[in-house]
Structure 1
Amino acid sequence: MIGNLGIFFLAAFFEIFGCFAFWLYFRLGKTPWWIVLGVISLILFAYVLTKIDVENAGRIYAIYGGIYIIASLIWLVLVERESFNRWDIIGASLAMIGAFIIFIGNKAN
């Protein structure tokens, strides 16, 4: 599980970075090179997500949803320098509980 968890967070980094690169270009008027970096990062995201040791793609995406929420809040704090609030914590906790249930429940089968 630890290996999968690391891969999930790596995929989340690539997806968030890729989308943020588009944000920088379209919302903040940064150089078009951010689009290039964004596309490369999103390709890496898609590739890395295929390395998760779970049988079905849809199940991986469901589990990944919880990881993505946590990683997005970490990005919010570390990159955007914005603190999260209690609603962020409550929502992320519920999402992770759901992702954990999906992952563990399907490993038991």
Structure 2
Amino acid sequence: MPAYAIYSLAALAEIAGCFAFWGWLKLDRPIWWLIPGVASLALFAWLLTLIDSEAAGRAYAAYGGVYIAASLLWLWLAEGIKPDRWDLTGMTVALVGSAIILAGPR
């Protein structure tokens, strides 16, 4: 599976897991929200181990750009707030950085 597909799935799992905690602590959702949240965070961690990289830090750094893009997509689709031009500019810079990290000759 290509790295960006794994990163996209990992981002969805991480954001969903973190949102479960957000919902419990900030939106007064029931504590049982943490059960799927913790499972989702465990899935996120496992997915990152599927990245073909000799160093965890490099895999995590490249993931950062995808996470930013996924977070802005979550902002728009799940929270109903459309990203502005500054959000999109920052996302573009982050994705370019991620691509440089992934494509660099090693």
State the TM-score bracket (shorter-chain normalisation): over 0.9
Partner of 1:89: 88
Partner of 1:43: 42
Matching of residues 1-109 of structure 1 within 5 Å: 3-105=2-104, 108-109=105-106
- Displacement of 1:53 in angstroms is 1.5
- The gaps in structure 2 that reach 5 residues or longer are none
Q: Counterpart amino acid of 2:71?
A: S
Root-mean-square deviation (CA), in Å?
1.0
> How many percent identity over aligned positions?
50
- Displacement of 1:54 in angstroms is 1.9
Instruction: Give aligned pairs, total.
Output: 106
Runs of 4 or more above 3 Å deviation: none
* TM-score after normalising by structure 1: 0.93
Distance 1:52 1:24 in 2: 30
Distance 1:80 1:51 in 2: 30
Distance 1:54 1:9 in 2: 17
Distance 1:48 1:101 in 2: 21
